[in-house]
Amino acid sequence: MPDSATLEAVNIDQDEGNFSYPEDYAHDAGYGLNEGTVDYISNIKGEAEWIREFRHKALKVFFAKPMPTHWASKDLENIIFNDIRYYLSKGQTPTRNWDEVPDDVKKTFERLGIPEKERKFLAGVEAQFDSEAAYSNVKEELTKEGVIFVNSTEGLREHPEIFRKWFGKVIPTGDNKFSALNSAVFSGGSFIYVPPGVKVKHPLQAYFRINAENFGQFERTLIIVDEGAEVTYMEGCTAPKFETATLHSAVVELVAMKDAKIQYITVQNWSNNVFNLVTKRGIAHENAEIRWIDCNIGSRLTMKYPGVIMKGRKARGEVISIALSNNGQHQDTGAKMIHAADETTSNIVAKSISVGTGQSTYRGQVHIPRHLKGCKNNTECDALLINSSSRTDTYPAITVRGNQHATQHEASVSQVSEDQIFYMKQRGLSEGEAMSLSVNGFVNDLVREFPMEYSVELKRLIDMEMEGSVG
Amino acid sequence: MSQSLKIENLHATVDGTEILKGLTLEVPKGEVHAIMGPNGSGKSTLSKVMAGHEAYTVTEGTVMLDDINLLELAIDERSRAGFFLAFQYPHEIPGVSNANFLRAARQARLPKGEEVDAVAFYKEMYLKMDELGMDRKFTGRSVNEGFSGGEKKRNEILQMMMLEPKYAVLDETDSGLDIDALKIVAQGVNSMRSPERGFLIITHYQRLLDYIVPDVVHVMFDGRIIKTGGKDLALELEEKGYDWVTKELVPA
Ligand SMILES: Nc1ncnc2c1ncn2[C@@H]1O[C@H](COP(=O)(O)OP(=O)(O)O)[C@@H](O)[C@H]1O
Ligand SMILES: [Mg+2]
């Protein structure tokens, strides 16, 4: 039981993630972004010179690149980069023992149920609080097998021979303005290596928590799964509701070597002041498989298009995405499938739900060049509109050259009809319960693909959103 | 305390057109009443007004469920107060299994913090499905999606049996049923007849009333009850046609 002073300091709301602890940071890069900010971060981390240079180069690219407002939301212009703090930490180094985690941080993660989940079904956990991980642990037998699961600072410092080769290679700094920003100020995130043939049975989980207002979280994740190895990685994210904008801009790179399998699951539940601008991409080598399962709930604006570059013969890429945009929110999500070898297969299933004035946008890119043979793509995107003020847009771009490929594309827009809700209410369900059930029904076939624990979590989040949306 | 479903001088409009024009009717607890009437007389409108459909505006009159003023309650509150409507055209709920839907409806009736006992729930549901001759596979199928007309109607009765209302209105539950299905559905309804429950059975044809024998038959025409009688009234109507009552009772 926390003492009464702590309890008072916590703003409790009915939403599970909506609480924060008072700020007392040992390290604070201050507001705004310049070369000094980058040096501040690099100094604290005691980084190698090549990383510092990498950051400085990235900062230049970031400043040089325009905002992508010619195709994306104008709301991006409301991000005031000078009002954001780019590094905040309590000076903690990640510990393997929850008892050593600073008190507020530990309480935060306890309230989010992380230690409990770890005991129940996880092979490893990393819990990041603002800029740095506070806890990081992986089951001993995995360490013995050579599995590495650390944060970005440690990964680059302790295992450069493994990580440097792919770092910034799947997603080059200049891929977009926000990947450049991340490359300049990244901190935290997960660096994972799974040696050949090792199949990690239980998921590895990372949890990203923003606690401070006017803050940007820029975690950097790189997962390398060696030949014939397999891993499932799961990330969860939350932040309390603040009045001002908060920025979350991650870069996630995946590398699946020959015959490897990576499943990357995201269940995000950002509060509606968060700009969530994330770049995620994987490279799948011969006969490898990369699967992104992406559930986007909350945030003010999310822009995220997980991608797979199928580089080796028979490689497979998949994106399964669920986006829920509530009042005032915009989920701009999709998928990118780049076929770069023969007989590669990609599958995209995207479902979006728009509630009230919520807006969902699907952007897809499927690229199959002329010189390849036997490639396949399947794209399905379905939108559900809850109210007449809800919006959805679809921009599928499928470029298939040559005639030796099979592609299939289906899209649908449907609305929860008033009569359907009437029917459900006649059986005693409240408006919120009827909406939740309809929405859960709409995504049901996708949710069935998830590991149990996450489908339960997602259902709970949808229930919370829908009940909240009808007041 | 009154023990009936009591409709008094009910007037209701849809899109500015008056459909119910002063309808009065009382179903005491323990009785089964039938409403018969030609198409377009306002039977489905009556059932939806009682359920609280927002497209309809009540301009006058009351509906009392025992001592509860039904018209003051929200749609879901009416349901939880014990009012059930078996729809003439049941809606589909894509992706939501029959079992989950029923369970949610049962859950909605429990006090906060209490959970449906899953084992007991399934046991009860299977038993009732057996009574209605419904295959177990219907538990996993989305509510009414791809169901035949008859399957939808049986499903309505299953829901009624699971929710055990105080008063149930069945809107043309017989339409679209073959004779075997009709018998099964009637059996389901009959098994629920009790001194603690009232039924209002809306039907266009007398056929259903061979199997669910009513205590009272009302004839509805142009938004009103124009004749009330015993179960023989249904037979008479069938024989002579609706023209008979309308000519006899409604001055031109
Ligand atoms: N939206 C509407 N606007 C005007 N009239 C309507 C509307 N909906 C139904 N009606 C009319 O109400 C009358 C009663 O319909 P209904 O209650 O379905 O009759 P029944 O169930 O007895 O066949 C019909 O004449 C129908 O055309
Ligand atoms: Mg009708």
**Among candidates A294, A407, A285, which has minimal Cα distance to A350?**
A294
Q: How many angstroms is it from B45 CA to the middle of ligand 2?
A: 7
Helix, coil or strand: residue A419: helix
- Spell out the SS3 assignment of A54-89: HHHHHHHHHHHCCCCCCCCCHHHHHCCHHHCECCEE
Q: Which atom of ligand 1 is nearest to the CA of B45?
A: 17
pLDDT tens across A393-417, in order?
A: 988 888 888 888 999 999 999 988 8
Q: Is B68 on the interface with A (CB under 8 A)?
A: no
Q: How confident is the model at residue A14 (pLDDT cuts 50, 70, 90)?
A: very low
Q: How far apart are CA B165 and CA B192, in angstroms?
A: 10
Probe ligand 1: pick from B45, B54, B57, max atoms within 8 Å of CB? B45
Per-residue confidence (pLDDT) for residue A10, from 0 to 100: 42
Write the CA distances from A446 to A105, A174, A324, A454, integer angstroms.
Answer: 33, 33, 14, 12
Q: How far apart are CA A47 and CA A220, in angstroms?
A: 15
Q: How confident is the model at residue A458 (pLDDT cuts 50, 70, 90)?
A: confident
Examine the pLDDT at A21 and tell me if it is beyond 90. no
Given an 8 Å threshold on Cβ–Cβ distance, is B108 in contact with A442?
no
With a CB cutoff of 8 Å and minimum separation 6, the contacts of B141 are B97, B98, B147
Q: How many angstroms is it from B88 CA to the middle of ligand 2?
A: 6
Interface of B with A in 36-55 (CB under 8 A): 51-54
| pLDDT top residue among A334 and A123 | A334
Which region holds residue A368: left if phi is over 0, alpha if psi is between -120 and 50, else beta?
beta
Examine the pLDDT at A470 and tell me if it is beyond 70. no
Give me the residue spans of the domains in chain B. 4-91+162-249
Q: What is the topology classification, in CATH, of domain B4-91+162-249?
A: Rossmann fold (3.40.50)
Q: Are A11 and A19 in contact (CB under 8 A)?
A: yes
Q: Is the CB of B40 under 6 A from ligand 1?
A: yes
Q: Is the CB of B41 under 6 A from ligand 1?
A: yes
Q: Is B113 on the interface with A (CB under 8 A)?
A: no
Examine the pLDDT at A153 and tell me if it is beyond 90. yes
Q: How many angstroms is it from B21 CA to the middle of ligand 2?
A: 16
Give me the residue spans of the domains in chain A. 4-304, 421-471
Q: Is A442 on the interface with B (CB under 8 A)?
A: yes
Q: What is the mean pLDDT of residues A318-326?
A: 95
pLDDT tens across B99-139, in order?
A: 999 999 999 999 989 999 999 999 999 999 999 999 999 99
Please give the model's pTM, rounded to 2 decimal places: 0.87
Taking the CA atoms of B137, B142, B147 and B150 in sequence, report the sign of the dihedral they define: positive
Q: How far apart are CA A232 and CA A250, in angstroms?
A: 19
